[in-house]
């Protein structure tokens, strides 16, 4: 200081130095304070981001149960033999040194990185060989896969063998030392105890490489994902969020190489919520068995609350084929059988004679006919210069409304349909909401249904509407296209004297409630008119075209239909049955469609679809019947 004082006296310019140094110190201390006190949070976060990594673990999806609490979709463990690369690092290093020495001794030029890759693959193959030895397999390690995993997913266990059979994991468990780096790692996979049952409706899942992080801690951290699953179709897709659960998270403190050092936080996954359906698995199985190898759909629902009891679409596919992933062979098989289509909610078909009920309703509502109105059937009806045939070429003679429904006389409906007109028939169809999807919770319900009228034809085909079009529409032929679900919903609504009933497959407390008293949904038909329609349907089942749907113990009301479709130059037959039972206080409504594939498939509503409906109705009223149909065998 004395020296400094001396200089200060002699060199006044030096006075600037203490000021400068003091200034610098102030800046430095200020800077430190600014960074350490004011921006402490910022730096702490950056430090965390640099040293912490998050591993997201998928949660098991929720289960799906039927109305009786029977498991339709559950989870099964998927056991894999894995190794954590972190635990093998000393071996990687040793192997690398050995390789370098070996290459040097033999004067083989090589790059260090390549040797590292080779060393890692060699060590992994050694462990694979141990697994092979126990399991009698001959699997090999792909060096590129190891390297990709090492570079990109080093915190995730490396799978040596996935999808171990219980016998295989039992062998590994017993024959590998408990301190072996080879560990058994379990994730959950979807399990469908009834295989193809309700396959289209339940849907399937697919792999999801990045599982949803919602609710998991450490959202700012670099994240690794253990692959999970996501709903790809059906209810699995529609309720994916509900079923998905909350992913678990492991937050690791990592070393400078990015390997696990210490587990800082672990929040276990929270399983997804369960889903309870109105579906009756037993009835579903019976419906699927009844339709057999034929293509088509069977839909049964409660007219009291709209709850779907069975929603069968054939051909289906075994949902277990999608676990863990669908093979290309299985995919081709499904493709060839045209089994992807959910015929119940996506298939569009002309409703044939089942539509006559709507023609009759339109005519009755607008006073075009009365229940006593008659027609004389000669076996055909002439419109302009074209003959429209009845299915009974000899003619039914004089028929009234009840008889016309009983024998499904086309001529009666041609005549009165023409008198009613396309506008009223289309309007009645819209009143019954046949022009829009039902709104069932299963995704991809068709929106392409057609209720044709003058405007539709002009816009779509640029043509005028002709009386022949009305004649066709009166008997459910021509341009009209509806889904089996719409027909089932309309049948259930008619059974409960409603214009529309909302079908649903998810069981809710409201589903236990009786049909809405909302007057806007009431069918609003004169009681005598509705009575005549009911009588016609009852007699159709008792002695008419739908007699193969008759039950001994319960009165059934029904209507058959056989629609023709031109496809690939062939006329194909679509067999329909709609009905409900018991006629008074109905408990079940049903729609059956069987799709003809070739011209030689002589399907008819009465002979083909009605017997299927009878099997389902019989099973519904006899719950003890075939109660063991769903028994699932469990094998290790």
Partner 1 sequence: MPRKSLFQRRPLLILGIAFLVWLLLPGIIKTFFRTSIIELQAPSRQAASVVRDVQDYWALRSAGRNTLLRELSDLSRQNSYYQLRSQRIALLEEEIKRWEQLYNLPSHPEYHFEIARVVQRDSTTWWQEMTIRKGRQHGIRKGAPVVFAGGVVGRVREVHLATATVELLSSPGLRLSARISGEARPLGFQGGENRPFHPPGGRLDFIPADYQLPEGTEPLVVTTGLGGVFPEGLVIGRLTSLEESEETLFQAGRVRLDQRLHQIREVAVMIALEESTQASERE
Q: Give the residue from 433, 434, 425 showing the smallest Cα distance to 453.
A: 425
One residue of 193, 203, 234, 269 binding partner 1 per CB under 8 A = 269
Beta-carbon contacts of 617 under 8 Å, excluding residues fewer than 6 positions away, are 549, 551, 554, 556, 579, 581, 588, 590
Instruction: Print the binding letters for residues 143-182 with partner 1: x by CB under 8 A, - otherwise.
Output: -----------------------xx-xxx-xxxxxxx---
Residue closer to partner 1 (CB basis): 79 or 300? 79
Rule CB under 8 A: say whether 632 interacts with partner 1: no
Rule CB under 8 A: say whether 184 interacts with partner 1: yes
**Nearest distance in Å: CB 134, partner 1:** 8
Please, which residues bridge with residue 386 across strands? 383
**Nearest distance in Å: CB 99, partner 1:** 22
- Where helices occur in 408-514 by DSSP H, the ranges are 410-420, 422-431, 454-461, 467-474, 484-495
**Nearest distance in Å: CB 80, partner 1:** 13
Residue closer to partner 1 (CB basis): 135 or 594? 135
**Nearest distance in Å: CB 58, partner 1:** 10
- HSE on the CB side for 35, CA within 13 Å? 7
Q: How many residues of this chain bind partner 1 (CB under 8 A)?
A: 28
Rule CB under 8 A: say whether 86 interacts with partner 1: no
Residue closer to partner 1 (CB basis): 84 or 500? 84
Q: Give the residue from 551, 538, 543, 623 showing the smallest Cα distance to 583.
A: 538
- HSE on the CB side for 481, CA within 13 Å? 14
One residue of 104, 140, 186, 564 binding partner 1 per CB under 8 A = 186
For the chain, give the longest Cα–Cα distance. 139
Q: The tokens 């919602």 sit on which residue?
A: 214
Q: Which stretch binds partner 1 (CB under 8 A): 148-156, 262-270, 527-535, 542-550?
A: 262-270
One residue of 54, 55, 56, 59 binding partner 1 per CB under 8 A = 59
Q: Encode burial over 450-472: b for 16+ CB neighbours within 10 A, e otherwise.
A: bbbbbebbeeeeeeebebbbbbb
One residue of 23, 268, 292, 439 binding partner 1 per CB under 8 A = 268
Residue closer to partner 1 (CB basis): 174 or 262? 174
**Nearest distance in Å: CB 155, partner 1:** 18
Q: Which stretch binds partner 1 (CB under 8 A): 224-232, 263-271, 302-310, 578-586?
A: 263-271
Residue closer to partner 1 (CB basis): 271 or 379? 271
**Nearest distance in Å: CB 168, partner 1:** 9
**Alpha carbons 522 and 334: distance in angstroms, whole number:** 42
**Alpha carbons 71 and 81: distance in angstroms, whole number:** 29
Cα 292 off chain centre by: 22
**Nearest distance in Å: CB 94, partner 1:** 14
Radius of gyration of the chain (CA): 36
Helix (H, G, I), strand (E, B), or coil: what is residue 276?
strand
Please, which residues bridge with residue 159 across strands? 82
> Under rule CB under 8 A, which residues in 117-136 are in contact with partner 1?
134
Sign of CA dihedral 615, 618, 619, 625: negative
Q: Which stretch binds partner 1 (CB under 8 A): 224-232, 264-272, 549-557, 624-632?
A: 264-272
Residue closer to partner 1 (CB basis): 191 or 431? 191
Rule CB under 8 A: say whether 75 interacts with partner 1: yes
One residue of 53, 56, 60, 350 binding partner 1 per CB under 8 A = 60
Instruction: Print the binding letters for residues 188-207 with partner 1: x by CB under 8 A, - otherwise.
Output: x-------------------
Angstrom CA distances, 437 to 31, 177, 202, stand at 67, 60, 19
Rule CB under 8 A: say whether 270 interacts with partner 1: yes
**Alpha carbons 309 and 621: distance in angstroms, whole number:** 13
End-to-end CA distance of the chain: 90
Sign of CA dihedral 236, 237, 238, 239: positive
Assigned token pair, 163: 């999808």
By CB under 8 A, name the binding residues for partner 1.
59-60, 75, 77, 134, 166-167, 169-171, 173-179, 184, 186, 188, 266, 268-271, 634-636
């Amino acid at each position: 200081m004395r020296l400094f004082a001396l200089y200060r006296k002699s060199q006044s310019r030096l006075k600037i130095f203490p000021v400068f140094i003091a200034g610098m110190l102030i800046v430095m201390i200020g800077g430190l304070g600014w960074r350490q006190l004011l921006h402490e949070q910022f730096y702490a976060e950056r430090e965390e981001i640099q040293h912490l990594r998050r591993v997201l673990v998928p949660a098991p999806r929720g289960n799906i149960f039927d109305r009786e609490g029977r498991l339709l979709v559950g989870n099964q463990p998927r056991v894999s033999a894995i190794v954590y690369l972190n635990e093998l690092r000393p071996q990687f290093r040793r192997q690398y040194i050995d390789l370098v020495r070996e290459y040097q001794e033999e004067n083989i030029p090589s790059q260090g990185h390549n040797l590292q890759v080779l060393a890692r693959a060699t060590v992994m193959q050694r462990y694979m060989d141990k697994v092979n030895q126990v399991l009698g397999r001959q699997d090999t390690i792909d060096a590129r896969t190891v390297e990709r995993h090492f570079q990109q997913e080093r915190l995730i266990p490396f799978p040596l063998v996935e999808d171990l059979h219980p016998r295989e994991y039992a062998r590994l468990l017993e024959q590998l030392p408990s301190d072996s780096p080879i560990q058994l790692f379990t994730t959950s996979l979807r399990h469908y105890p009834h295989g193809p049952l309700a396959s289209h409706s339940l849907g399937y899942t697919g792999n999801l490489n990045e599982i949803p992080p919602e609710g998991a801690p450490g959202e700012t951290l670099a994240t690794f994902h253990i692959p999970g699953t996501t709903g790809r179709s059906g209810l699995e897709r529609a309720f994916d969020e509900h079923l998905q659960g909350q992913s678990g998270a492991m937050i690791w403190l990592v070393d400078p190489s990015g390997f696990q050092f210490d587990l800082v936080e672990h929040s276990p996954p929270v399983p997804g919520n369960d889903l309870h359906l109105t579906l009756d698995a037993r009835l579903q199985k019976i419906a699927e068995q009844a339709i057999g190898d034929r293509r088509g759909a069977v839909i049964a629902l409660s007219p009291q609350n709209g709850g779907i009891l069975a929603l069968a679409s054939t051909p289906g596919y075994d949902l277990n084929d999608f676990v863990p992933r669908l093979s290309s062979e299985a995919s081709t098989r499904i493709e060839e059988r045209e089994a992807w289509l959910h015929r119940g909610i996506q298939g569009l078909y002309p409703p044939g004679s089942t539509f006559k009920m709507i023609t009759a309703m339109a005519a009755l509502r607008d006073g075009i006919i009365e229940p006593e109105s008659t027609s004389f059937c000669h076996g055909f009806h002439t419109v302009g210069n074209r003959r429209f045939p009845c299915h009974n070429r000899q003619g039914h003679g004089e028929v009234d409304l009840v008889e016309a429904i009983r024998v499904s006389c086309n001529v009666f409906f041609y005549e009165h349909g023409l008198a009613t007109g396309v506008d009223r028939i289309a309007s009645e169809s819209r009143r019954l909401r046949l022009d829009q999807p039902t709104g069932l919770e299963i995704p991809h319900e068709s929106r392409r249904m057609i209720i044709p009228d003058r405007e539709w034809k002009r816009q779509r085909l640029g043509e005028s509407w002709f009386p022949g079009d009305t004649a066709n529409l009166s008997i459910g032929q021509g341009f009209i296209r509806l889904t089996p679900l719409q027909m089932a919903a309309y049948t259930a609504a008619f059974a409960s004297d409603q214009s529309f009933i909302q079908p649903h497959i998810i069981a809710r407390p409201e589903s236990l409630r009786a049909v809405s008293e909302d007057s806007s949904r009431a069918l609003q038909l004169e009681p005598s008119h509705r009575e005549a329609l009911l009588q016609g349907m009852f007699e159709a089942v008792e002695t008419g075209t739908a007699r193969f749907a008759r039950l001994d113990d319960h009165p059934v009301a029904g209507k058959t239909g056989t629609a023709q479709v031109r496809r690939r130059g062939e006329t194909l037959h679509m067999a329909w049955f709609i009905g409900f039972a018991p006629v008074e206080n109905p408990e079940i409504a049903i729609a059956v469609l069987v799709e003809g594939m070739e011209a030689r498939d002589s399907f008819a509503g009465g002979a083909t679809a009605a017997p299927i409906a009878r099997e389902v109705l019989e099973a519904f009223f006899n719950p003890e019947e075939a109660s063991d149909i769903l028994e699932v065998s469990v094998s290790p």
